[in-house]
Amino acid sequence: AQSVTQLGSHVSVSEGALVLLRCNYSSSVPPYLFWYVQYPNQGLQLLLKYTTGATLVKGINGFEAEFKKSETSFHLTKPSAHMSDAAEYFCAVRPADSSYKLIFGSGTRLLVRP
Amino acid sequence: DAGVTQSPTHLIKTRGQQVTLRCSPKSGHDTVSWYQQALGQGPQFIFQYYEEEERQRGNFPDRFSGHQFPNYSSELNVNALLLGDSALYLCASSLTTEQYFGPGTRLTVT
């Protein structure tokens, strides 16, 4: 069965530092890939997505992610963290087997230190 | 343009009761999916509705049922509530590959 692994339940960075949140998926066929952000007591907001084409995807709020098929990874990065980036981040896949559901990782909480 | 809306925001029920949660999709979207997010976990897919029919279902018991109306809005019904049903229930609407989520309904079962 398809699965998503997010390494690190908590990541702490200083304001202005690089943000790197890791996501690996299990699939022999590249799925559609997504990153969502969830602020406390709110729903999920789509940050970016990969379906086909360019493997480096740019999203909102300065985030980007790179699809690496050989590593089955879709890591999320941001060059300089802001205090407002503190939130829970979820990686999700939509399998390529005509499935309509999203399969989510367990999430990574990003803490930004002043 | 209103996004996905859900009601109610919070709900407290007793074990064994039944609950109905409601969702209005983003304008122009015809597909609604429901997810359960337990505390500290990622959302889990319950089911998806398209053209008023359940198109796909996740690993949830039959106590979980749904409905989609002609205006694309949707309801999630849960019967015989268990303590373990306490969670944030998220509705997502879509037209193509992207799913847009509502703020969720926080259900507490006591």
Nearest by CB to residue A44, choosing from B50, B56, B101, is B101
Tell me the per-residue pLDDT of A45-56, one tens digit each, with 9 for 90 and over.
Answer: 999 999 888 889
* pLDDT higher than threshold 70 for residue A98: no
Q: Alpha carbon B104 to chain centroid distance?
A: 8
* pLDDT higher than threshold 70 for residue B52: yes
Nearest by CB to residue B97, choosing from A32, A106, A107, is A32
pLDDT at A88: 97
Tell me the per-residue pLDDT of A55-89, one tens digit each, with 9 for 90 and over.
Answer: 899 999 999 999 998 999 999 999 999 999 999 99
* Best mutation target, A3, A102, A103, A106, to test chain B (most B CBs within 10 A): A102
Average pLDDT, chain A: 92
Taking the C-alpha atoms of residue A55 and residue B21, their distance in angstroms, rounded to an integer, is 38
Distance linking the first and last C-alpha atoms of chain B: 37
Q: Which residues pair with B88 in a beta bridge?
A: B37, B106
* pLDDT higher than threshold 70 for residue B1: no
Residue, of A69 and B1, whose pLDDT is higher? A69
Residue, of B57 and A41, whose pLDDT is higher? B57
Average pLDDT, chain B: 95
Q: Do A43 and B101 touch (CB under 8 A)?
A: yes
Taking the C-alpha atoms of residue B68 and residue B52, their distance in angstroms, rounded to an integer, is 5
* pLDDT higher than threshold 80 for residue B83: yes
* pLDDT higher than threshold 90 for residue A30: no
Average pLDDT over residues B49-55: 94
pLDDT at B84: 97
Average pLDDT over residues B56-76: 96
Token pair in block for residue A37 = 């952000």
Nearest by CB to residue A101, choosing from B40, B58, B90, is B58
